[in-house]
């Protein structure tokens, strides 16, 4: 065995010689970003190792320059270990928590949870009253004995609790099932947790189900990312590895348990006090959490195994909450329109509006929802990871040091980073801004092409000086290097990636409107969900033509609506019924089945020119 020491974090693990650094990191619990799933394609899992590794592979030589190799830079998925080694994981290769949204859109709801707490004063048994303990409790609750099933744990504690409390007890029911019985004076906490399983981030919200108060919020990056940042890579891992499903389900269940544990610790509660969990996620995340085969989600016609709500015991779900607890997974709509979209529809109350309204939730996958005033239509589009920094040469997640705002000031570029730290990459909101700036200044034309040096002579000198290279290697310097600051650029290829993502989303909007029989110009309100909605500059989104032209104040960020929807379902069974109805009535449009998709997609990739666009985004500040 050899010893591998990871920095930062000061974590050491022992592995067999010949183990890749990525595999060693996984064993040590160190998450290294690997968007391609460790296939040696993306070059994003860079680490620094002074010694202890075998010679660089051909893939490393192709993706890393001689200078980087000389400086000890290696690809974690390719480099194999032969001796003890110390591995430094740069910030750009670490999967770290970024900005997490916490929304209270559910708080106006009437509290009507599926978990019930009742205080009972019961008559003591006698020779004249020989009802069983369970029957006595059932009738005290106003139920027939047959209408009160009981969990084994509740039956075990029932006789002792009754007699210790002189037949005054507090009961906890989950649905119609008796989950716990305590003697009077030992009133239990009745908590629930709402979980939003995102492809990138997982968030858990701990709630007191007796008061509706949110007690804690915890979050972490989805550990399944070690097998690939996109859904298809994760499905491929399930198919290609004998332990693929166990890997995927084990990783997410373990994380959810960790998040619940952290939330309970923060709230001074016990996991035994958590009686119910509601779960949302896209269809792939839903299937992997439940251990359901995801293969057919990736193959036309993209059919899920189940679309109705799934409710199961906590033990069967693998969650370490109260043994008598339950887990409720919200319904899904289609293979790529999942419970997270149903949650957005639920808390946005989109169908209550009296005007055409668009809702968009963009992550690695993009969901677009349209209420025409009469019909509710939904679709998904392969937006890809560009808006989250994936496939962008210097793209990073929204964490400390990421460039999150870019604007023009006095004829030159200025920017701001998260936390004010030195720039180490550009995240989604910064990507929107840089594209808008390039279009506003004329650095890029409506086809997304960077202008040549001759044309650049008409630009402000400071802006023109940031352009260099030719053809496909043309790039724009966002942050100059020097004095310890690494150089950051936005390339012609990056612009193409953004165009593909933008084209997919806008094409989805166009086709949904066509299906609903309305013009895009009739849309009066746009709801933007998730980090996409809260952090991007709306002017930048309008300038690049991603969104239909509406007044800025009619573009509303609604926060983590998926998480809020999970919370709504946790505190109200009526909201669960609404979610089921929304999933049933939503009409799913499969874009790839549309004969006009390719034409609409091609048109949607074109950026508005400066004369057509009524928005000047470059004037926006930090």
Q: How far is the C-alpha of 31 from the C-alpha of 426, rounded, in Å?
A: 20
Residue boundaries of the structural domains of the chain: 2-93, 115-183, 191-329, 339-383+502-604, 387-497
Q: How far is the C-alpha of 474 from the C-alpha of 498, rounded, in Å?
A: 16
CATH architecture of the region 339-383+502-604: 2-Layer Sandwich (3.30)
Q: How far is the C-alpha of 391 from the C-alpha of 385, rounded, in Å?
A: 7
Fold of the domain built from segment(s) 2-93: Ubiquitin-like (UB roll) (3.10.20)
Q: What pLDDT, on a 0 to 100 scale, did the predictor assign at position 104? A: 61
Q: What percent of the chain has pLDDT over 70?
A: 93
Q: How far is the C-alpha of 620 from the C-alpha of 537, rounded, in Å?
A: 8
HSE-CB at 592 with a 13 A cutoff on CA atoms is 8
> Higher confidence at residue 355 or residue 91?
355
Fold of the domain built from segment(s) 115-183: Ubiquitin-like (UB roll) (3.10.20)
Class of the CATH-defined domain 191-329: alpha beta
Q: How far is the C-alpha of 107 from the C-alpha of 113, rounded, in Å?
A: 13
Average pLDDT over residues 222-237: 86
Token look-up 């006698």 returns: 126
Each residue's pLDDT tens digit, 7-58: 877 788 888 899 999 888 877 777 777 766 677 777 778 899 988 999 999 8
Domains 115-183 and 191-329 share a fold: no
Distance of alpha carbon 419 from its chain centroid, rounded? 22
Q: What pLDDT, on a 0 to 100 scale, did the predictor assign at position 231? A: 84
Q: How far is the C-alpha of 219 from the C-alpha of 195, rounded, in Å?
A: 10
pTM score of the predicted model:
0.80
Is the link from the previous residue into 8 a cis peptide, with omega within 30 of 0?
A: yes
Nearest residue to 612 via CA among 546, 545, 553, 539: 545
What average pLDDT does the structure give for the chain?
89
Each residue's pLDDT tens digit, 317-345: 999 999 999 999 999 999 999 999 999 99
Count of Cβ atoms closer than 10 Å to residue 294 Cβ = 26
Average pLDDT over residues 546-573: 91
Average pLDDT over residues 460-484: 91
């Amino acid at each position: 065995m050899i010893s591998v020491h990871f920095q930062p974090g000061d974590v050491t693990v022992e592995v067999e010689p010949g183990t890749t650094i990525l595999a060693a990191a996984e064993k040590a619990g160190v998450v290294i970003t690997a968007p391609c799933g460790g296939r040696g394609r993306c070059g994003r899992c860079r680490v620094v190792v002074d010694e202890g590794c075998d010679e660089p592979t051909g893939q490393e030589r192709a993706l890393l320059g001689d200078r980087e190799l000389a400086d000890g830079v290696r690809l974690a998925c390719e480099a194999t270990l032969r001796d003890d080694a110390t591995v430094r994981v740069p910030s750009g290769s670490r999967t770290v928590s970024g900005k997490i949204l916490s929304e209270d859109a559910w708080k106006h709801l009437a509290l009507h949870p599926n978990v019930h707490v009742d205080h009972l004063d019961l008559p003591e048994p006698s020779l004249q009253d020989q009802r069983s303990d369970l029957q006595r409790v059932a009738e005290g609750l106003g139920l027939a004995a047959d209408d009160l099933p009981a969990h084994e744990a509740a039956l075990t504690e029932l006789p002792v609790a009754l007699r210790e409390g002189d037949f005054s007890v507090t009961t906890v029911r989950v649905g119609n099932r008796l989950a716990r019985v305590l003697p009077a004076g030992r009133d239990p906490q009745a908590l629930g947790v709402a979980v939003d399983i995102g492809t990138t981030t997982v968030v858990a919200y701990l709630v007191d189900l007796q008061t509706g108060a949110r007690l804690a919020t915890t979050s972490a990056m989805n550990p399944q990312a070690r097998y690939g940042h996109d859904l298809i890579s994760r499905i491929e891992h399930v198919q290609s590895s004998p332990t693929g499903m166990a890997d995927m389900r084990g990783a997410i269940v373990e994380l959810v348990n960790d998040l619940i544990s952290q939330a309970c610790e923060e709230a001074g509660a016990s996991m035994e006090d958590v009686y119910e969990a509601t779960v949302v996620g896209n269809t792939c995340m839903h299937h992997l959490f439940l251990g359901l085969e995801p293969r057919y989600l990736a193959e036309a016609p993209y059919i899920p195994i189940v679309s109705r709500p799934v409710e199961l015991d906590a033990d069967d779900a693998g969650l370490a909450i109260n043994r008598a607890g339950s887990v409720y997974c919200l319904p899904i709509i289609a293979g790529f329109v999942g419970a997270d979209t149903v949650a957005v529809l639920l808390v946005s109350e989109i169908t209550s509006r009296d005007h055409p309204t668009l809702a968009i939730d963009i992550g690695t996958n993009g969901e677009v929802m349209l209420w025409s005033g009469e019909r509710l239509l939904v679709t998904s589009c392969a937006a890809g990871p560009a808006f989250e920094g994936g496939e962008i040469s210097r793209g990073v997640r929204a964490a400390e040091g990421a460039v999150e705002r870019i604007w023009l000031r006095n004829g030159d570029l200025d920017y701001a980073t998260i936390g004010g730290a030195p720039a180490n990459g550009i995240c989604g909101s910064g990507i929107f801004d840089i594209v808008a700036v390039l279009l506003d200044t004329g650095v890029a034309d409506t086809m997304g092409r960077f202008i040549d040096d001759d044309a650049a002579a008409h630009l402000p000198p400071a802006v023109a000086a940031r352009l260099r290279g030719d053809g496909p290697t043309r790039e724009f310097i966002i942050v100059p290097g020097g004095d310890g600051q690494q150089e950051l650029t936005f390339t012609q290829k990056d612009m193409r990636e953004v165009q593909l993502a933008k084209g997919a989303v806008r094409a989805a909007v166009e086709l949904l409107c066509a299906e609903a029989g309305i013009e895009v110009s009739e849309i009066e309100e746009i709801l933007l969900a998730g980090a996409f909605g809260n952090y991007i500059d709306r002017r930048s989104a309008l300038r690049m033509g991603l969104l239909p032209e509406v007044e800025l104040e009619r573009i509303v960020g609604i926060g983590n609506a998926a998480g809020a929807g999970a919370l709504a379902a946790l505190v109200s069974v009526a909201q669960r019924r609404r979610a089921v109805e929304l999933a049933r009535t939503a009409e799913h449009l499969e874009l790839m089945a549309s004969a006009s998709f390719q034409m609409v997609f091609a048109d949607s990739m074109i950026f508005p020119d400066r004369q057509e666009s009524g928005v000047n985004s470059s004037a926006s500040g930090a």
